[in-house]
């Protein structure tokens, strides 16, 4: 169906309006396409005016903006207030997404253009859901929609108490596949996937609670992860071995660094505070704390260091450069990374990604007092991505603050600075 052209957003909304199918949620495959669609609607002169709803949107917006001034300069403000359409995805700041959801729930919007991930995270039904693509874009590139994803999307059709029936429309497009969509709608959802994983934190907490590797292994074998593994992969004993192996590998690493004692099956004093670091890379932060590489840093530099660890390695936060002192500190941190990964590799533990220097620079500048408008302009990163980075970094700093270590006071101050508006 590669020869079928995509219907333009103005024509799509006009067709839905003629058939009394508004308001609608239009699912598009990328953030950029969602933003472009909302803008196209706002620039289309053929869209009918709706003075009463425009006035209601303005009143709601002004009231909300009084407590959330960061939305006053949003680039899609015209589309929201005048055209009654909006883009909603992870690239927008939380306050913007919230006002969009509030207006949609109040019946003040004609359409929301959203990515498929929105369907699972919010609850603002519409009369109609429009599916424009049989594929979606994830962290690993393009892939077909899953049954559960399509069910989440189509489940938004029909407003309780307003519509007797909801409508799902497949809009034409190059990558639309009605046959595939029909198959998904008739299929059973994918089996639930367990989120129970072998981590340093889970192992430390389990061992501290049960004081026995046999008991820890028994707990892991009772986990949903074990019960959900198909029997065709081998005997239960072999399955148990495969599930326990990642814990065993991490136990050897923790023993090497002195956070547990394999021989005594106990958690050491350092292991007890490390168990409270519920972050993606606790061992790296723990070793950096013990080596004292944070001790002589300023508040902003400390924030930048933690951001380099907390950020997704492949996310780009622009061309902002770190300060000279932070650059030197990051060299020290890379030495810690090398030390940790060498032991992990030796014991079969999967190696973590590299540090994110662009994230370090963005967090350092924000913690040093840079204005939000300057940060977004200089980083050229999506506001929502920046918010997630700074929120994740701020939360990691809060956890360090609770450890009662020499760096804890500075971590507390840095978290407060990072989590100011519009991050919060």
The full length of the chain comes to 424
Q: What is d(CA 162, CA 153) in angstroms, rounded to the nearest whole number? A: 19
* CATH number of domain containing 160: 3.40.50.300
Q: Is residue 131 in some structural domain?
A: yes
Q: What is d(CA 177, CA 341) in angstroms, rounded to the nearest whole number? A: 45
Q: Is residue 277 in some structural domain?
A: yes
Which pTM does this prediction carry? 0.78
Tens-binned pLDDT, residue by residue, of the chain (424 aa): 445 677 899 999 999 999 999 999 999 988 899 999 999 998 888 888 889 999 999 999 999 999 999 899 898 998 999 999 999 988 899 899 999 999 998 999 999 999 877 656 667 778 999 998 888 776 667 788 888 888 888 888 888 778 788 898 998 877 788 888 888 888 887 776 666 678 999 999 999 999 999 999 888 877 655 555 555 555 566 767 778 899 999 999 999 999 999 999 999 999 999 999 988 899 999 999 999 999 999 999 999 999 999 998 888 998 899 999 999 999 999 999 999 999 999 999 988 778 999 999 999 999 999 999 999 999 888 899 999 999 999 999 999 999 989 999 999 999 999 999 889 7
DSSP run (H or E) holding 149: helix 147-154
220 and 158 in a common domain: no
- Cα-Cα end-to-end distance for the chain: 45
Among the candidates 137, 152, 186, a domain finishes at 186
Give the DSSP letter of residue 117: G
130 with 171: CB under 8 angstroms? yes
Q: Name the residue range of residue 51's domain.
A: 9-186
Structural domains of the chain, count = 2
375 and 269 in a common domain: yes
Residues contacting 116, CB < 8 A, separation 6+: 27, 29, 136, 145, 149, 152, 153
Q: Is residue 2 in some structural domain?
A: no
* CATH number of domain containing 265: 1.10.3380.30
Q: Is residue 106 in some structural domain?
A: yes
Q: Is residue 1 in some structural domain?
A: no
Q: What is the DSSP string of 294-316?
A: TTT--HHHHHHHHHHHHS-TT--
Q: Is residue 46 in some structural domain?
A: yes
Number of CB atoms found within 10 A of residue 4's CB:
11
299 and 180 in a common domain: no
């Amino acid at each position: 169906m590669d020869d079928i052209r995509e219907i333009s957003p103005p024509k799509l909304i006009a067709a839905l309006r003629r058939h009394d199918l508004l308001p609608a949620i239009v699912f598009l495959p990328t953030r950029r396409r969602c933003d472009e669609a909302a803008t196209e609607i706002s620039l289309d002169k053929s869209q009918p005016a709706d003075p009463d709803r425009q006035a209601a949107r303005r009143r709601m917006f002004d009231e909300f903006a009084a407590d959330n001034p960061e939305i006053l300069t949003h680039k899609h403000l015209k589309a929201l207030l005048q055209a009654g359409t909006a883009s909603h995805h992870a690239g927008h700041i939380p306050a913007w997404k919230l006002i969009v959801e509030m207006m949609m729930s109040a019946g003040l919007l004609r359409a929301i253009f959203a990515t498929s991930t929105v369907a699972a995270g919010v609850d603002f039904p519409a009369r109609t859901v429009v599916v424009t693509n049989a594929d979606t874009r994830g962290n690993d590139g393009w892939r077909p929609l899953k049954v559960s994803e399509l069910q989440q999307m189509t489940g938004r059709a029909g407003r309780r108490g307003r519509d007797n029936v909801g409508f799902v429309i497949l809009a034409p497009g190059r990558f639309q596949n009605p046959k595939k969509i029909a198959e998904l709608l008739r299929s059973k959802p994918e089996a639930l996937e367990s989120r129970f994983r072998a981590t340093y934190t889970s192992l430390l907490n389990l061992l501290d609670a049960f004081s026995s590797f046999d008991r820890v292994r028994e707990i892991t074998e009772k986990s949903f992860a074990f019960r959900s593994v198909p029997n065709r992969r081998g005997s239960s004993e072999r399955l148990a071995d495969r599930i326990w192996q990642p814990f065993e590998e991490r136990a050897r690493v923790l023993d090497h660094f002195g956070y547990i004692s394999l021989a005594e099956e106990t958690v050491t004093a350092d292991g007890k505070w490390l168990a409270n670091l519920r972050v993606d890379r606790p061992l790296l932060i723990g070793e950096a704390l013990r080596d004292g590489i944070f001790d002589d840093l300023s508040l902003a530099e400390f924030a930048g260091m933690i951001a380099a660890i907390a950020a997704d390695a492949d996310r780009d936060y622009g061309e902002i450069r770190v300060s000279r002192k932070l650059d030197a500190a990051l060299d020290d941190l890379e030495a810690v990374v090398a030390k940790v990964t060498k032991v992990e590799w030796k014991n079969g533990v999967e190696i973590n990604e590299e540090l994110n220097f662009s994230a370090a620079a963005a967090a350092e500048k924000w913690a040093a007092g840079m204005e939000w408008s300057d940060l977004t302009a200089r980083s050229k990163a999506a506001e929502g991505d920046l918010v997630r980075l700074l929120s994740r970094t701020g939360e990691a700093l809060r956890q360090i603050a609770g450890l009662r270590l020499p760096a804890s006071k500075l971590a507390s101050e840095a978290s407060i600075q990072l989590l100011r508006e519009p991050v919060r």
